Amino acid sequence: MTKTKTLAGLLAGVTLTASAALAQAYPDRQITMIVPFAAGGPTDTVGRLIAERMSADLGQQIIVENVGGAGGTLGAGQAAGAEADGYTILLHHIGMATSATLYRSLAYNPTEAFDYVGLVTEVPMTIVARKDLEPTDFAGLVSYVKENADTITMANAGIGAASQLCGMLFMQALEAPIVTVPYKGTGPAMTELLGGQIDIMCDQTTNTAEQIKGGAIKAYAVTSPARLDIFPDLPTVAEAGLPNLQVSVWHGLYTPKGTPPEAVARLTQSLQSALADPDLAAKLAELGTAPSPAADATPEALKAKLESEIARWKPVIEAAGVYAD
């Protein structure tokens, strides 16, 4: 054996040992999960449900840090710039795809700045209003919005948020430019809707289901292709005559680009075990959704989803001509 070969062999051995050691040691301290919207909202709800179960599986606490603002792009930007050591993770939704077009200059490249852990869940949206808004059904809401377009207010979580995308499609379909009010997330927007300071909103069932069930807000339609088991009487947007309003808010888990592959693999494994928890499935069912199947909770599935969703929404956003910058 030559000296060079011996050295190469030694180095390979060192690399293997180091990666095996990392795989065993990771995680050995607390992990931060960035949620790019305010506490109490739908992304936060999904993040905390997952963080709790992944913490138990990993044997280390996952702490949720809410970094709301600018439709999720501030939090995503913070995650993109964090150290790629496996101790910062990002839970984001469809906004990762739409912001790629909505922002002509973004501080990070959505397809380059992250490693992928896996898909988490896909959540339908609901078109809701303060409980004393006059219309009693979706057709009534459409006429009401058209007649009152300059005074009615619609909440969203900023340009890049799912609520903004849904609101944009709603206005486009009705040809009614409504006044929009941005919040750091739809958690605080819901508080204002409950208080009657805001008229309407389009938001995930993970934020609206309990309020609809309790009669605290009014619901007009769901944005899924089929009616939901929890709201069998609520029509789909397609039934209500607006098929182009279908939006499904998929959520994915990411790490900053360059995270050690062993750490990413451990996170994927942990995500899959969290999603297999029957208690999580029951909780999500109450909120109108379900965990992603294990086959989708993979880096490959999330990467494919992000790329296909960027391609899907780009022409829609360009046709609307709505940009953040």
| C-alpha distances in Å from residue 312, one per residue of 280, 284, 309, 317 | 30, 26, 5, 9
Site for ligand ASP in 90-129 (CB under 6 A): 95
| Nearer of residues 32 and 269 to ligand ASP, judged by Cβ | 32
Contact between 170 and ligand ASP (CB under 6 A)? no
Distance CA 47, CA 79 (A): 15
Contact between 208 and ligand ASP (CB under 6 A)? no
Structure tokens at 175: 């040809």
| Nearer of residues 35 and 263 to ligand ASP, judged by Cβ | 35
Distance CA 238, CA 169 (A): 13
Site for ligand ASP in 2-41 (CB under 6 A): 37-38, 41
The type of residue at 320 is A
Tell me if 46 sits within 8 A of 121, measured CB to CB. yes
| Nearer of residues 93 and 266 to ligand ASP, judged by Cβ | 93
Residue 143 Cβ vs ligand ASP, minimum distance, rounded to whole Å: 25
Tell which one of 55, 204, 205, 255 touches ligand ASP (CB under 6 A): 204
Beta strands 31-35; 62-66: pairing state: parallel
Tell which one of 79, 97, 162, 237 touches ligand ASP (CB under 6 A): 162
| Nearer of residues 180 and 255 to ligand ASP, judged by Cβ | 180
Return the closest-CA partner of residue 91 out of 159, 160, 45, 157. 45
| Nearer of residues 129 and 263 to ligand ASP, judged by Cβ | 129
Contact range with ligand ASP by CB under 6 A, out of 105-113, 161-169, 218-226, 253-261: 161-169
Reported as type and span, the H/E element at residue 65 is strand 62-66
Residue 278 Cβ vs ligand ASP, minimum distance, rounded to whole Å: 25
| Nearer of residues 156 and 224 to ligand ASP, judged by Cβ | 156
Cα 127 → chain centroid: 17
Cα 218 → chain centroid: 23
Contact between 77 and ligand ASP (CB under 6 A)? no
| C-alpha distances in Å from residue 65, one per residue of 34, 38, 39, 51, 274 | 5, 9, 9, 11, 19
Contact between 292 and ligand ASP (CB under 6 A)? no
Contact between 163 and ligand ASP (CB under 6 A)? yes
**HSE (CB half, 13 Å, CA atoms) of 82?**
24
Contact between 192 and ligand ASP (CB under 6 A)? no
Q: For ligand ASP, what does the binding mask look like between residues 34 and 53, x meaning CB under 6 A?
A: ---xx--xxxx---------
Return the exposure string of 222-255: e unless at least 16 CB atoms fall within 10 Å of the residue's CB, then b. Answer: bbbeebbebbeebbbbbebebeebbbbbbbbbbb
| Nearer of residues 184 and 218 to ligand ASP, judged by Cβ | 184
Contact between 157 and ligand ASP (CB under 6 A)? yes
Binding-site size, ligand ASP (CB under 6 A): 17
Tell me if 180 sits within 8 A of 167, measured CB to CB. yes
Residues that bind ligand ASP (CB under 6 A): 37-38, 41-44, 95, 156-157, 161-163, 185-187, 203-204
